[in-house]
Amino acid sequence: MFAKLKNARVAWYPSAGTDFRPLLYLHHNYQTGLSAPPPDVYLFSNICDHPRHCIEMGAVLHSDARTKMTVKSSEMVQVLNLPIRPEVVYHECGEHPLINQVYKLEVQVESDLLGVSKVTLYYAFCENTALADKLILYGIKVSHVIRVGFGDGWGLSKSSGAWLLNALSALKSECLISDWDKRMYEQSLNRKDGDYFAISHFKGIPKQVEVELSQVDYKVCTGRETYWYQLTYPVNEN
């Protein structure tokens, strides 16, 4: 998987669960305030196996009056060897047969507004901070990061996802879509013990936040209020 992602623009959705609407919201014809070009490929991750039905061929990932998303092909392409640290998540959430498996899905998106398109999506059943560390190690460009509903689904995360702000520069990210506004990232009370552990333990995740968030849009997406940020990075003076 990592070799396939090496030269691509990747949209990563950690703790994605069964929310596939970003495949629609990041479509090149969907109107947002982002100046960043759309992603080439999507990477979803989730440590629990409750999205297991989503990797089946023919699975309908989303369906409403205007949009339908269907899995046209599915293939298990890699088994990762990523740790599950009890400081970050409860260990029992990784005790299932799909843990550390990665599936490549070809998804057909049919939209009354945006037409028909095909999307490549990798779904990794693994722990998010360990995956971030590996993406950084391999130099993968994660152009879009989606932090929406992080850890809310099953309450198994010991982090809030605030550590993602530290990782953005190393991931070479261009934009962040989040259900947190900028002030929530700035408040230390929103960081949990798992966030501090992720920053201190994983070598690839920087210790300091090296990014500036500029809000360019606000939308109700994925069933939540979301803030769309263009990212800029301070110039390092040597």
Output the pLDDT for position 223. 75
Q: What's the pLDDT at 156?
A: 67
Q: Which residues are CB-neighbours of 199 under 8 A, at least 6 positions away? A: 163, 166, 205, 206, 207
pLDDT, residue 234, reads 87
d(CA 65, CA 53): 22
What pLDDT does residue 238 have?
A: 35
Residue that is written with structure tokens 């803030």 in the block:
227
Instruction: Please provide the average confidence, as pLDDT, over all residues in the chain.
Output: 92
Q: What is the rounded end-to-end Cα distance, in angstroms, of the chain?
A: 36
Coil, helix or strand at residue 230: strand
What pLDDT was estimated at residue 152? 55
- Which tens digits make up the pLDDT trace of 193-224? 999 999 999 999 999 999 999 999 999 876 78
Q: What is the DSSP letter of 4?
A: H
Q: What is the pLDDT of residues 114-148, one digit of tens each?
A: 999 999 999 999 999 999 999 999 999 999 999 99
Token readout for 2 is 């990592």
Contact between residue 134 and residue 80 where contact means Cβ atoms under 8 Å apart: yes
Q: Among residues 27, 49, 53, which one has the least CA distance to residue 38? A: 27
- How many of the other CB atoms lie within 10 Å of CB of 187? 10
pTM listed for this prediction: 0.95
